A and B are shown apart, each in its own frame.
Chain A
Amino acid sequence: MKSSRNLPPKTFPLLFLVPVFSSLGNVLLGKGMRGMGEIQYLSFSTLAVYFLKTLSSVWIWLGISSLLLFFVSYLLVLSWADYSYVLPVTATGYVLAPLLAHLLLGEVVPGTRWVGAAFIFLGVALVGRTPPSTTGRG
C-alpha cells in the first residue's frame, strides 16, 4: 500500500513546530496584552488609541510572527498529511504546557492534569502509528 510508507522525513519537524509556534505565539500575545492594561470604557477614540498602543508592543509583534510561522507550518504539513492525522498529533502542545510549567516554573501540577497528559500521549502514539495520508493525493 502506497500510503503506509508515505511519510516524508520533513513531516516530524513540522508536526513539532505547529504546537510550539502556536503556544509560543499565544503566550507572547498574552504577555503583550497584559502590559496594555484593561480597557476602561468603550468609545471609538479609546479603542483607536488602544489599537495603536498594541501595535507598538514588541511582544505583540513577536506573538504575531510566531502565529504566522505556526500557520505556515500548518499549511505545509496539510499539503500532504491528513487533517485527521495532523489534528490529534499536534495536540502535544497540551502536554507541553503542564510539563514546562512544572519543569521551568516549578508550578504544582494537579494529578488530573497528568492523567489528561497521559491520555493525550497515548492518543498521539496511537494516531501516529496510522498512515499519515489516506486520500492518495498526498
Chain B
Amino acid sequence: MRTFLFLAIVVLSGTGGDIAVTHAMKQIGEVRSFVPRALLGVLRRVSQSGWMWLGIALMALAFFSWLTLLSWAEVSFAVPATAVNFIVGALGAKFLLKERVSKARWAGMLLVSAGVALVCVAH
C-alpha cells in the first residue's frame, strides 16, 4: 500500500514540478539568443520566478520520495511503473498548461509509455 502511495507522490510531484517549470519558462518567453550575456539574463529571470522555485521544490520532493521508495520496492516494478508519468504529464499539459494535445500526440504518448514499460520490465 505504501508502495502505491509513494509511487503516486513520485509521479504527481514529478509531473507537477515539470508543469510549474514549463509555466515559468513560458512566462519568461522564448529564448532566442544563446550568447552568454543573453543566457545570464534568462538565468536572472529564472531565479526570480516563483513558479520556477515551486517546480524545483516539487522535483526535489519527487527525487527524495523516489529514493525512499527504492529502499524497499523492487526496481523491476518501480521503474516501469513510472511510465505512468507520460499519461499524467499529458493530462497536466492539456488541463493546466492549456496545450492542445491532438489525437496523434495522445497516440504517440501511449506508445512511448507502453514502450518505456516494456523496456524497463525486461531489465
Q: Does residue A64 face the partner (Cβ distance < 8 Å to B)? A: no
Nearest-CB residue, chain A, relative to B93: A84
Q: How large is the interface on B (under 10, 10 to 19, 20 to 34, 35 or more residues)?
A: 35 or more
Among A79, A84, A135, the one with the most B-chain Cβ atoms within 10 Å of its Cβ is A84
Q: Which residues of B contact A79 (CB under 8 A)?
A: 25-26, 28-31, 42
**How far apart are A122's CB and chain B's nearest CB, in angstroms?**
5
Nearest-CB residue, chain A, relative to B29: A79
Q: Does residue A80 face the partner (Cβ distance < 8 Å to B)? A: yes
Q: Does residue B117 face the partner (Cβ distance < 8 Å to A)? A: yes
Expressed in whole angstroms, the Cα–Cα distance for A137 and B115 within the complex equals 31
B116–A130 touching, CB < 8 Å: no
Q: Does residue B70 face the partner (Cβ distance < 8 Å to A)? A: no
Q: Does residue B57 face the partner (Cβ distance < 8 Å to A)? A: no
In order of increasing CB-CB distance, the 8 nearest A-B pairs are A116-B118, A119-B115, A123-B111, A126-B108, A120-B115, A127-B108, A123-B112, A116-B119
